[in-house]
Amino acid sequence: MQPTLDTAYWLGLLISVVLPVLVGLVTTRVTHPGVKAVLLLGLTAANGFLVELAGPHGDDYSVSSALILWAVSFGTGVLAHFGLWKPTGVSVKAQEVGSKPVEAGA
């Protein structure tokens, strides 16, 4: 029997890759990077615990598995931010959404 990953784990991984952009959408460019990191840490915690809740575990919810999923989610989010979103400019564009453009001469 070939081991497979449940759909919940794949969805959690996808969410982990997108979470840094979400953090960029809800913060500004002047927001301290530490605040952004804590926000990402909280969102990945929610992701890890929800993936474990939705995963194929039967009636046995495993906090240790949720903690591991949290760590994987946070690591994936940080790697996605610095390896994918920041170099391609997506992070900067997400920070600019909703901000007013600076007028020339102002």
Closest CA to 21 of 97, 101, 102: 97
Q: Using an 8 Å Cβ cutoff, are 12 and 48 in contact?
A: yes
Model confidence pTM above 0.75 = yes
The three-point CA angle 56-38-101 to 5° equals 115
Tens-digit pLDDT string for the chain (106 aa): 555 678 888 999 999 999 999 999 998 888 899 999 999 999 999 999 999 988 876 678 889 999 999 999 999 999 999 999 999 999 888 888 867 666 655 5
Domain ranges of the chain: 7-93
Site of tokens 């920041």: 86
